Structure 1
């Protein structure tokens, strides 16, 4: 399920507060968020993971058309991928997916400092910011700072 335009705008704004390190989009789908991230932050490394072939292929084509050299797209399970070096995760997952990323962050020597999540909370942490969208569901977008700035 792609993030709404309003959610994308809020996520892009919140990622401005996350420094200059690499950003990972977990489940980047058709590129609706990962492409705007790469365009907005041309000096940051942006990485997207997607398992489904058609959405992944569409995002790859957009990356090539837009010549986004700071964007890497992988067709693989993000839970089996290497997040070393990345400082920020953006995601629109489900509660079980949020638990899985929490477990991965806690079980590995992770550099992840921030998580920006559309709709679903990281239940083990208190969000530093919660922005409610002006939509039918009053959907939340959460910003978590897991580690302080170096």
Structure 2
């Protein structure tokens, strides 16, 4: 909105001149419409509110992006049979305590890492481990990578078994990952996945490798110990060693 102060007669003449100039430049054919309001001793000249148009466009694009993100998560959840669920603070603490109790170092695979909260917690608490998060849902995977990058910039990770970044997230199929290449596997999945992984682990893993499963046991396996977390759901944590 353009405000022109001064004598009303002078403003009226100025307004006519401006209309003539704009007409010569072809502005009349544009989307904008000049408005003149004479009241209270001032003249206002304005066009369509560009800020409002930009706001509406940005709002639409944001809503579309959110819709597509939700759709992606719903599709991945339907395909996987479960929605990505972050582990609670008490559960994460019990898992890190069990890893310390193993008194080992090496590489750790988080099978179905979801939003990355458990893997990131372990990278900040468990010295000497190189952590790989495996996830096939695009949005949780992107969030995990972003959080890992932010944590790395803030130097929040402890020392890794290997030089460089102690944590990485990859897009992959948790049933096809080469688990025989890691020393420890952490799972927070669902009964159907644990049934499938039970046979995979039995075929591929070698003596000495360890498995920690949150909430659901491995069918056909005898755990070394079962820890009950002090959270609302009394979540069990199963610890296995391949014999």
- Counterpart in the other structure of 1:36: 121
- Counterpart in the other structure of 2:20: none
For CA contacts below 8 A with separation 6 or more, give which structure has more relative contact order. 1
> What TM-score do the two structures reach when normalised by structure 2?
0.56
Give, in whole Å, the separation in 1 of the partners of 2:225 and 2:186. 14
Cα-Cα RMSD: 1.7
Q: Which has the larger radius of gyration?
A: 2
Pairing 1:98–2:194 present: yes
Stretches of structure 1 lacking an aligned partner (at least 5 in a row): none
Per-residue deviation at 1:42?
A: 4.4
Per-residue deviation at 1:64?
A: 1.3
Give, in whole Å, the separation in 1 of the partners of 2:207 and 2:148. 26
Stretches of structure 2 lacking an aligned partner (at least 5 in a row): 1-84, 158-164
Per-residue deviation at 1:62?
A: 1.3
Pairing 1:2–2:98 present: no
Please list, as runs of the form range in 1=range in 2, the aligned pairs for 1:1-150 lying within 5 A after superposition.
1-18=85-102, 19-67=104-152, 69-108=165-204, 110=206, 113-147=209-243
Output one character per residue of 1:42-87: Cα deviation in whole Å (capped at 9) or x when no partner: 4321110011111100110111122260112111111122223201
Output one character per residue of 1:77-98: Cα deviation in whole Å (capped at 9) or x when no partner: 1112222320111111111111
Instruction: Tell me, yes or no, if the aligned pair for 1:130 and 1:143 is still in contact at 8 Å.
Output: yes
Per-residue deviation at 1:27?
A: 0.8
Structure number having the greater helix percentage: 2
> What TM-score do the two structures reach when normalised by structure 1?
0.88
Give, in whole Å, the separation in 2 of the partners of 1:142 and 1:6. 15
Partner of 1:125, secondary structure, is coil
Instruction: Tell me, yes or no, if the aligned pair for 1:85 and 1:111 is still in contact at 8 Å.
Output: no
Give, in whole Å, the separation in 2 of the partners of 1:135 and 1:109. 31
Per-residue deviation at 1:136?
A: 3.4
Instruction: Tell me, yes or no, if the aligned pair for 1:29 and 1:56 is still in contact at 8 Å.
Output: yes
Alignment coverage as a number of residue pairs: 147
Moved more, 57-66 or 103-112: 103-112
